[in-house]
Amino acid sequence: MSLLELFRKRVTVARVYGIPVRIDYRWFVVVALSVWLIASNLQNHAIQVVNVRLPPLDPATAWLLGVITTAGLFLSVFGHELSHALMARAEGIEIDEIVLHPFGGLARLRSEPENPRAELRIAVAGPAASFLFAILAFGGTKVAALGDYVATVVVFFFLAWGNLLLAVFNLFPGYPLDGGRVLRAILWRKSGNINQATRMAGLCGLLVAAVVILFGVYIMIAPNWRPSEPYFMGIWSILVGLFLLDTAAKVVKGAQRAKQVTVGDAMSAPVSIAPELTIIQLIDDFLPLHRQTSFPVAINRQLHGILALEDLKALPRERWRLTRARDVMRPVAPRFFVEPSTTLDYARELMKRNGVGSLAVVNNHGELVGFLQSGRLRPRAGKKKRKL
Ligand SMILES: [Zn+2]
């Protein structure tokens, strides 16, 4: 294992609602930076918040507040991701993990949302949680100010702004940000085409990334307006922008690729059985040669139905001799066939739901030309390797 691989490794730190929470090693660097940045600010500058004034602090107090504030900020990021994850679960999607990485967090879902509405809900859940945390923290600031707990005021104040920033920044309309997912959901609903929507949202993501990078450069060189740590903030902004740029570029590429992969690329030659074939013939003569869990039933390339082996379970052995394929097959219906030009994504979804886990491929002359089985999708040899 190279040093670089070790560096990319993740540690599982907790399980929340059964979801593993993993931390990227680089994340610890960011935590240290955050503690240092907050502590050094509190140590060197007086801070004016609402109507309380915090004088420069002694090192021990400054570092302690740095640690507390940083812990609060990263719990906030975690709360944001957990909110996405729980909403996804409510939409019936399992969650593989929540990852905290140097640029924030990520709730990794096992599958894509099934429809635009689910996508929208999952996307909005994160920023909604962050807005809620911001409101609570602003409330905390006010309450602490009443009691004159100056240090507490400062911590709440940082947390309030941190969460507000998290919510607003995430709503920028570019994939992979939450706002980009919202945009994707809207475009998806309008066009009905998820790949096209993903591609558009990804392109907007490239644009947002460029703006974030330019903003970073601007902070560093602008003569008039400079935040307290211009170089740190500028470089940070550029790094976040580059991260977004990389992710958005992958999304755009992925969407283009998915658009091109069709059923025709992945289907195999059809092994069909005749409607008159008896079940005993199927089991004795046919099955040993063709290990499939379902077969298209056809005569002269005309599809009559799909026979699923699963449907034979209910059939008593003594009837195998008399029963024919046509008696137990599922008659032809739109959910059992597609055309070669159908996208593989669509076909895959259809297979998940049609009850037989396979699809006949029929050309526009109505002839059976191929067969697809989930779990056995092979792209035609000679084409580039694809994620299937
Ligand atoms: Zn989010």
- Ligand 1 geometric centre to CA of 103 (Å): 12
Ligand 1 mean position to 86 CA, how many Å?
12
Measure 129 CA to ligand 1 centroid, in angstroms.
9
Q: Which of 237, 167, 188 is nearest to 208 (CA)?
A: 237
| Strand (E) or helix (H) holding 305 | strand 302-308
CA-CA distances (angstroms) from residue 313 to 25, 48, 60, 316, 380?
51, 76, 73, 8, 34
Structure tokens, 345: 């994504």
CA dist 379 and 99 (Å) reads 32
Q: How far is residue 165's CA from residue 214's CA, in Å, rounded to a whole number?
A: 18
Measured in Å, residue 179 CA sits from the centre of ligand 1 at 8
Which H or E run includes 12? strand 10-16
Beta bridge partners of 14: 21
The rounded distance, in Å, linking the Cα atoms of 213 and 236 is 9
Helix axes 59-90, 150-170, angle to 10 degrees: 40
Per the CB < 8 A criterion, the answer to whether 198 and 255 are in contact is yes
131 CA from centroid of ligand 1 (Å): 12
Token duo for residue 20: 């593993």
By the CB criterion, residues less than 5 angstroms from ion ligand 1 are 126, 170, 178
Has this prediction a pTM greater than 0.75? Answer: no
Task: Tell me the mean pLDDT per 10 residues along the chain, length 388.
Answer: 55 85 84 88 79 80 90 92 92 86 81 85 95 94 83 88 93 91 92 85 94 91 68 86 90 76 83 92 88 90 92 88 92 88 82 89 89 67 34
- Phi, psi of 272, deg, nearest 5: -105, 160
Query: What residues have CB less than 8 Å from 294, skipping those under 6 apart?
Result: 306, 307, 308, 309, 310, 356, 357, 358, 373
- Interval between CA 80 and ligand 1 midpoint (Å): 6
C-alpha count within 13 angstroms, C-beta hemisphere, residue 358: 26
pLDDT in tens, 134-162: 999 999 988 888 877 878 888 899 899 99
Q: How far is the CA of 178 from the centre of ligand 1 (A)?
A: 5
Query: Alpha-carbon distance 86 to 351, whole Å?
Result: 27
Spacing, Cα 176 to ligand 1 middle (Å): 9
Instruction: With H, G, I as helix, E, B as strand and everything else as coil, classify residue 162.
Output: helix
What is the distance in A from the centroid of ligand 1 to the CA of 127? 6
Nearest to 338 by CA among 354, 321, 317: 354
